[in-house]
């Protein structure tokens, strides 16, 4: 029977596909899991190949909490990530709305430029950006961590523009005929319709910024002003790397992001699916 | 040209709208009388929707003059004109309740003009009034997604009339409704027109709808007005062949005459069986043939015999023969011969009195206008 054969083939393909996905997932979470497990091992077992420790310990956590400014660093990182996310969101909402609502004649050109800016590696801009930030006296400050990163809002603008463009034009026209001024159209009609997209873009930018390494390393190298990602370097010393402390601190500082994930996992999945990025 | 300052009076002079190289409206002249229910009808692409958008202020004319209530509105933004619009897809604000949809414009007015704008009590009172007028009283707290198509349309109508505009524009208001709802919605619009006294400008591609609703009918073709006037004028004295074939159903029959053409309506033809009618010499145009060469159709109780087949008892034409209406000898007549129903292949003749003939010259313009 061809029907049964086809069903069987489809089933086999499904099983094979899930097998591939399982292997990939395992490969992705294995290092994380290994790191977490290792953070519970005493120093003399750090290099052992057994995943579980014979004498699990919390000494690295105690060390990380007492010797390392964990709250301060998480606070700094949060301020930076939230500041960049909110700032980029403001730019993206206003930019996307203006491009869609006023449809300027240079719209095509602007979109091309925004897309080109995505292709420029951030590393290529980092020296002039650093010099400018230094000249402004923003080194080792939240301003220095946040403001220069708002220049990279092109992706957020393009993502939101897709959503504004997808709104029925008659909806915006109806508001205009009802006497709404442009900002009132934005506030009363566009923003409520865009709420899911805005949430997605915010989360996307927040997580990307939280994990950023290069910019905070340059702008805020001092231990007390810097972010979690840079702060972890402190466990690499001239005498070698304190892997236990490093992994304990990394685990601790992953917790806030983990909480964000758990609370908004659905939104995050949507955000990444919609943006076509991972 | 007389300019009046009556609210709701619309005057268009040489109005042109171009999109790049293409011309949507071509030096269009039109007067829409205050308080009329003006229906603009035409084939798709004739510019009727563009005209509506220019009237509303959503589009700016490339050239020409537009007066609403006797005053030029060129510089006025859409929201500042005395004009409201019902969109084809209704465009209800999805996250607002029916009451919030209705009051949105008034609330903006109150915010923009704290002294002259309506008070909270007045807004509530007008929402209640419009809700009552359109039978939306019990739906005020619902959201658009929870409404049926007909209810959504009534909300869209309500949102448009709550600001008491002098001009109400309706873009294909019935096209999104199924045929049952269409009749009641049509009645609703007519009733609304009587009650609010505004000028209604309704765009449609359905000439049935146009003839049945309009007090003032405008036929558009290729970005210009082909003819405007009362529906009777357009039906009985079409200015061009285009208007003649576009207005009325079944469409006017046309056949060659000299260097132009002559047209006649099926309803004006006196039909008889050909063999019985030879005795008298008729005065007027005589069309002879069999039911295979003549096409018969009808309405109401009348018999329908069409080329090669009989169509139902009601005899609505189901096919679109517009392509071969002009040159060949397919005619549309709506009569029957006494008690006997015509059958396919019957010889028949139709006599059309001279007064009912429409003569067009080679350019399709009416000769005896």
State residue B260's pLDDT score. Answer: 86
Last residue of a domain, one of A16, A34, A56: A56
Q: Which residue has the higher pLDDT, B258 or A116?
A: A116
Most B CBs within 10 Å: which of A176, A179, A183, A195, as the mutation test of the B interface? Answer: A179
Give the whole-angstrom CA distance, residue B73 versus residue A37: 74
* Residues A45 and A124 placed together within one structural domain of the fold: no
Q: Across the strands, what pairs with B31?
A: B11
- In terms of Cβ atoms closer than 10 Å to its own Cβ (0-12, 13-18, 19+), residue A100 is buried
Give the whole-angstrom CA distance, residue A134 versus residue B20: 49
- The interface pTM score, or ipTM, of the predicted complex is 0.78
Q: Across the strands, what pairs with B262?
A: B255, B359
- CATH 3.40.50.300 region(s) of chain B? 10-242
Look at phi and psi of residue A180 and say left if phi exceeds 0, alpha if psi is from -120 to 50, else beta.
beta
Please judge whether B85 and A176 are an interchain contact, meaning their C-beta atoms are less than 8 angstroms apart. no
Residue numbers in A near B108 (CB within 8 A): 178-180, 184
pLDDT confidence tier of residue A26, bands split at 50, 70 and 90: very high
Please judge whether A168 and B112 are an interchain contact, meaning their C-beta atoms are less than 8 angstroms apart. no
Most A CBs within 10 Å: which of B52, B60, B94, as the mutation test of the A interface? Answer: B94
* Residues A183 and A218 placed together within one structural domain of the fold: yes
Cα separations (Å) of A225 from A70, A81, A83, A250, B261? 12, 14, 15, 18, 90
* Residues A123 and A47 placed together within one structural domain of the fold: no
Residues 173-202 of A with CB under 8 A from B: 173-181, 184, 188-189, 192-193
Give the whole-angstrom CA distance, residue A176 versus residue B56: 10
Please judge whether A179 and B112 are an interchain contact, meaning their C-beta atoms are less than 8 angstroms apart. yes
Helix (H) or strand (E) holding B71: strand B71-72
State residue B284's pLDDT score. Answer: 67
Architecture of domain B10-242: 3-Layer(aba) Sandwich (3.40)
Please judge whether B105 and A171 are an interchain contact, meaning their C-beta atoms are less than 8 angstroms apart. no
* Residues A166 and A203 placed together within one structural domain of the fold: yes
Where do runs of H (alpha helix) occur along chain A? 2-38, 59-67, 70-101, 107-119, 122-135, 142-146, 154-165, 169-177, 182-185, 191-210, 214-219, 228-231, 243-275
Please judge whether A168 and B91 are an interchain contact, meaning their C-beta atoms are less than 8 angstroms apart. yes
- In terms of Cβ atoms closer than 10 Å to its own Cβ (0-12, 13-18, 19+), residue B16 is middle
Of A105-119, A252-266, B37-51, B106-120, which gets the smallest average pLDDT? A252-266
pLDDT in tens, A149-189: 998 899 999 999 999 999 999 999 999 999 999 999 999 99
Helix (H) or strand (E) holding B227: strand B224-229
* Residues A139 and A69 placed together within one structural domain of the fold: yes
Residue numbers in A near B104 (CB within 8 A): 175, 178, 180, 188
* Residues A233 and A132 placed together within one structural domain of the fold: yes
* Residues A118 and A9 placed together within one structural domain of the fold: no
Closest chain B CA to residue A181:
B79
| Residues B334, B232 contacting (CB under 8 angstroms) | no
State residue A240's pLDDT score. Answer: 79
Residue numbers in A near B159 (CB within 8 A): 174, 178
Give the whole-angstrom CA distance, residue B172 versus residue B49: 9
* Residues A20 and A104 placed together within one structural domain of the fold: no
State residue A69's pLDDT score. Answer: 87
Please judge whether A174 and B94 are an interchain contact, meaning their C-beta atoms are less than 8 angstroms apart. no
Please judge whether A177 and B58 are an interchain contact, meaning their C-beta atoms are less than 8 angstroms apart. yes
pLDDT confidence tier of residue A80, bands split at 50, 70 and 90: very high
According to DSSP, the β-strands at B199-204 and B37-41 are: parallel
CA triplet B168, B69, B24: central angle to 5 degrees? 65
Which structural domain, as residue segments, surrounds residue A257? 64-276
Terminal C-alpha separation, chain A: 42
Number of Cβ within 10 Å of residue A254's Cβ equals 16
Peptide bond into B212 cis (omega under 30): no
Cα separations (Å) of A102 from A113, B62, B78, B83, B88? 18, 18, 14, 21, 22
A147 in contact with B at a CB cutoff of 8 Å?
A: no
Nearest to B217 by CA among B2, B16, B8, B30: B30
Nearest to A274 by CA among A207, A198, A210, A212: A198
Residue numbers in B near A176 (CB within 8 A): 58, 77-79
Q: How many residues does chain A have?
A: 278
Q: C-alpha A140: how far from its chain's center?
A: 22
Shortest Cα distance, chain A CAs vs residue B221, angstroms: 25
In this complex, the residue of A168, A178, A189 whose CB is nearest that of residue B89 is A168
State residue A93's pLDDT score. Answer: 96
pLDDT at A17 over 50: yes
Mean pLDDT, residues A111-119: 93
State residue A271's pLDDT score. Answer: 64
* Residues A34 and A92 placed together within one structural domain of the fold: no
Shortest Cα distance, chain B CAs vs residue A199, angstroms: 17
Q: State the residue for tokens 């004739």.
A: B46
Closest chain B CA to residue A178:
B105
pLDDT in tens, A195-251: 888 988 888 898 889 888 889 988 888 877 888 888 888 888 777 788 888 899 999
Shortest Cα distance, chain B CAs vs residue A173, angstroms: 7
Instruction: Give the list of residues 6+ apart from residue A118 with CB closer than 8 angstroms, or none.
Output: A154, A155, A158
State residue B291's pLDDT score. Answer: 59
Q: State the residue for tokens 């000898």.
A: B329
* Residues A49 and A151 placed together within one structural domain of the fold: no
A171 in contact with B at a CB cutoff of 8 Å?
A: yes
Which residue positions in chain B have pLDDT lower than 50? 1-4, 276-279, 297-330, 334-337, 339, 369
Instruction: Give the list of residues 6+ apart from residue B62 with CB closer than 8 angstroms, or none.
Output: B16, B17, B18
State residue B319's pLDDT score. Answer: 35
Share of chain A above pLDDT 90, in %: 44
Largest CA distance in chain A: 77
Last residue of a domain, one of A39, A56, A73: A56
State residue B179's pLDDT score. Answer: 79
Which pair of structure tokens corresponds to residue A45?
Answer: 């077992």
| Residues B284, B354 contacting (CB under 8 angstroms) | yes
Q: C-alpha B305: how far from its chain's center?
A: 29
For chain B, the residues whose C-beta falls within 8 A of a C-beta of chain A are 56-58, 77-80, 83-85, 87-89, 91, 93-95, 104-105, 108-109, 112, 159, 163
Where do runs of H (alpha helix) occur along chain B? 48-56, 98-112, 120-133, 149-161, 179-196, 207-213, 231-236, 241-246, 274-277
In this complex, the residue of B58, B93, B109 whose CB is nearest that of residue A176 is B58
Please judge whether B89 and A170 are an interchain contact, meaning their C-beta atoms are less than 8 angstroms apart. yes
């Amino acid at each position: 029977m061809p029907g049964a054969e086809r069903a069987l083939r489809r089933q086999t393909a499904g099983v094979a596909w899930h097998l591939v996905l399982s292997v990939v997932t395992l490969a992705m979470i294995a290092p994380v899991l290994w790191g977490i497990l290792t953070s519970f091992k005493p120093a003399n077992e750090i290099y052992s190949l057994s995943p579980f420790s014979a004498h699990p310990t919390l000494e690295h956590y105690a060390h990380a909490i007492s010797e390392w400014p964990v709250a301060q660093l998480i606070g700094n990182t949060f301020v930076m990530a939230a500041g960049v996310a909110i700032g980029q969101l403001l730019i993206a909402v206003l930019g996307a709305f203006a491009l869609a609502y006023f449809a300027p004649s240079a719209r095509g050109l602007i979109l091309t430029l925004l897309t080109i800016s995505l292709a420029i590696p951030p590393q290529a801009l980092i020296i002039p950006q650093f010099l400018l930030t230094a000249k402004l006296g923003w080194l080792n400050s939240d301003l220095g961590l946040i403001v220069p990163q708002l220049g990279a809002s092109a992706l957020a603008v393009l993502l939101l523009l897709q959503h504004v463009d997808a709104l029925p034009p008659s909806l915006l026209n109806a508001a205009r005929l009802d006497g709404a001024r442009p900002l009132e159209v934005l506030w009363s009609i566009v923003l409520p319709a865009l709420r899911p997209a805005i949430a997605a873009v915010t989360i996307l930018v927040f997580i990307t910024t939280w994990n950023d390494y290069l910019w905070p390393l340059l702008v805020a190298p001092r231990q007390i002003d810097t972010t979690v990602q840079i702060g972890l370097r402190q466990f690499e010393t001239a005498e070698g790397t304190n892997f236990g402390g490093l992994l304990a601190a990394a685990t601790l500082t992953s917790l806030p992001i983990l909480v964000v994930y758990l609370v908004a996992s659905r939104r995050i999945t949507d955000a990444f699916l919609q943006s076509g990025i991972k | 040209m007389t300019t009046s300052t009556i609210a709701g009076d619309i005057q268009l002079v040489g109005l042109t709208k171009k999109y790049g190289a293409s011309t949507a409206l071509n030096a269009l002249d039109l007067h829409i009388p205050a308080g009329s229910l003006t229906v603009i009808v035409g084939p798709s692409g004739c510019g009727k929707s563009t005209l509506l958008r220019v009237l509303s202020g959503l589009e700016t004319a490339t050239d020409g003059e537009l007066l609403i209530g006797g005053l030029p509105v060129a510089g006025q933004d859409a929201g500042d004109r005395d004009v409201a619009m019902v969109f084809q897809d209704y465009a209800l604000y999805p996250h607002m309740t029916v009451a919030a949809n209705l009051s949105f414009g008034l609330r903006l007015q109150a915010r923009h003009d704290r002294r002259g704008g309506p008070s909270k009590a007045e807004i509530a009172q007008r929402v209640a009034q419009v809700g009552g007028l359109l039978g939306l009283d019990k739906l005020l707290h619902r959201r658009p997604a929870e409404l049926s198509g007909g209810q959504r349309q009534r909300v869209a109508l309500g949102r448009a009339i709550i600001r008491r505009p002098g001009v109400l524009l309706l873009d294909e208001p019935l096209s999104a409704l199924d045929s049952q709802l269409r009749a009641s919605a049509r009645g609703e619009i007519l009733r609304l027109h009587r009650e609010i006294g505004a000028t209604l400008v309704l765009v449609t591609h359905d000439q049935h709808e146009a003839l049945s609703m309009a007090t003032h009918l405008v036929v558009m073709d290729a970005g210009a007005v082909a003819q405007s006037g009362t529906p009777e004028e357009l039906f009985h004295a079409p200015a061009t062949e285009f208007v003649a074939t576009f207005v009325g159903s079944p469409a006017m029959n046309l056949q060659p005459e000299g260097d132009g053409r002559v047209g006649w309506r099926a309803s004006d033809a006196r039909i008889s069986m050909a063999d019985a009618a030879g005795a008298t010499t008729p005065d007027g145009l005589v069309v002879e043939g069999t039911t295979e060469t003549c096409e018969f159709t009808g309405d109401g109780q009348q018999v329908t015999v069409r080329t090669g087949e009989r169509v139902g008892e009601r005899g609505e034409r189901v096919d679109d023969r517009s392509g071969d209406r002009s040159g060949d000898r397919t005619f549309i007549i709506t009569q029957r011969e006494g008690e006997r129903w015509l059958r396919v292949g019957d010889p028949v003749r139709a006599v059309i009195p001279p007064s009912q003939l429409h003569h067009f010259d080679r350019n399709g313009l009416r000769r005896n206008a």
